[in-house]
Structure 1
Amino acid sequence: MTGICTGQVAVVTGAGRGLGLAHARALAAEGARVVVNDLGTGLAGEGSSEGPAQEAVREIRERGGEAVAHAGDVTTGEGAASLVATALETFGRLDVLVNNAGFLRDRMLVNLDEDDWDAVVRVHLKGHFLPLRCAAAHWRAETRAGRAVRASIVNTTSGAGLLGSVGQANYAAAKAGIVALTLVAAAELARYGVRANAVAPAARTRMTEGTFGETLVSTPEDVSPLVVWLGSPASAGITGQVFEAEGGRITAMEGWHRGPTATKDGRWTPTEAGDAARRLLAGARPAGPVYGAAAP
């Protein structure tokens, strides 16, 4: 196959189903050789199976693409290292890392167990960090050896991480952390020829059906074109950016910027600080509404 990713090797985590599967298919359709990672867990992270990764590889090969399965746990150092090693040993290189693996354990904040907090933060945030670290170490070594690197990281955040989401404190916190991780990666890895961006997708998958029901009609395939472009050489120069993608809509998120500021010589009293804060907020751009919150 030929396309904008011809000659590239891409790793996609959580690629046995849903968004990850759509991304893996789309990357392969544009010429990339793909490592399909999936632990094969249930919706809440229970169990494991090599089936989803193997089935995804079968589909890609039937369509004329090249792919190999990896069923390791990317929330462990060993699993993340073996993921990168699989790409290098099978295809001889690594150009694109799409971090996508995750699951949900939704609860209202006061009912959220510590185990549910740890599990969701682990799979989303740590599951982004460890593959990213392993891939970055490889690309740094390549650069230091005098070999040119033009690599891309595409992380998966969420509207919940950008605006918050009622009943998803663990998920929202992890997805917000992914945005910060992306910005740091973009700043630190540019010297090694690596770009890092994030996409906040909205699509109907088995993870979102319980939250959004029939109201979410866009599909994972609607999101994948942006992910493929960000992974490809065509997006050279684009790094440290966050995009929302839903159906036919793509939004460039503007992130945190310093807004109105007040200063005084010396220390504020609590009352003065409060008065200043109210004046500043009156002139500041209001934050977007938290998903699921009651209208004011």
Structure 2
Amino acid sequence: MDGRAVAPAAGTVLNALANGLGSAFALDFDVEASVTLGASGGDVTGDVAGHPDADTALVERCVALTTDRYGDGEGGRVETDSEIPLASGLKSSSAAANATVLATLDALGRADDVARVDAARLGVQAARDVGVTVTGAFDDATASMLGGLTLTDNREDELVFRDEVDWDAVVWTPPEQSFSADADVARCERVAPIADHVAALAERGDYGTAMTLNGFAFCAALDHPADPIVDALPNADGASLSGTGPSYVAVGGADALTEVHEQWKTHPGTVRLTTTQTTGARTT
């Protein structure tokens, strides 16, 4: 039994580490997962294309949880191939989990039977089980799984709302990596009053101001430079550190973002022009 699915990257409006509320939006580049299932009770093995030493515990756990819940506990193999740089703040773990859960459901013939938000919850549970997330990252998971922009309460794995946004985006990824599980949570919690204000702005639909304020607050809390956000303004409608970094994302109109692209190209790393994505994860 074989299944395949893809799930997109995402950028941050509100980091959930401060107050448990998070908001993210899907970006138009993907992780692809291919799953082959075998006999019930078998082991699950994983592989990340191009990264032979990568930790595959998350995607293996996703297969196991999905087959336990919706199949007969089948073992098997999962391979992921990612356009999203690992440990970059662009939700590669959430996207890999989503793609793997959906590919496993596809292999079981159950992809159309399970609500996408419930499939996202399986990936969140797997992420908690293997310790790759502090909050569970339900905001990142729902943005990637459902597409568009979501705001969630990660303390309850509750989807507060989803909206469709139509932005061009610039993504700058420095060469270093930053793992979400290593973030200084206590320091992030100190900016909770700012995060409360960001959440209120997002609930009013002022996403650009929300993500920019989030960016300044979490650059300070996580010791990342705020200069890239300043460089993006006033051309961008919004700019922020994405997740716990090191990537930054700016959104707005295509012509204005050309200026941001040129500014960010002066820094080491990679700069990508893309758009938001409203389809979310899907079988292929």
Q: TM-score band, normalised by the shorter chain?
A: under 0.3
Q: Which has the higher contact order (CA 8 A, sep 6+)?
A: 2
Q: Higher strand share goes to which structure? A: 2
TM-score of the superposed pair, with normalisation by structure 1: 0.25
Larger Rg: 1
TM-score of the superposed pair, with normalisation by structure 2: 0.26
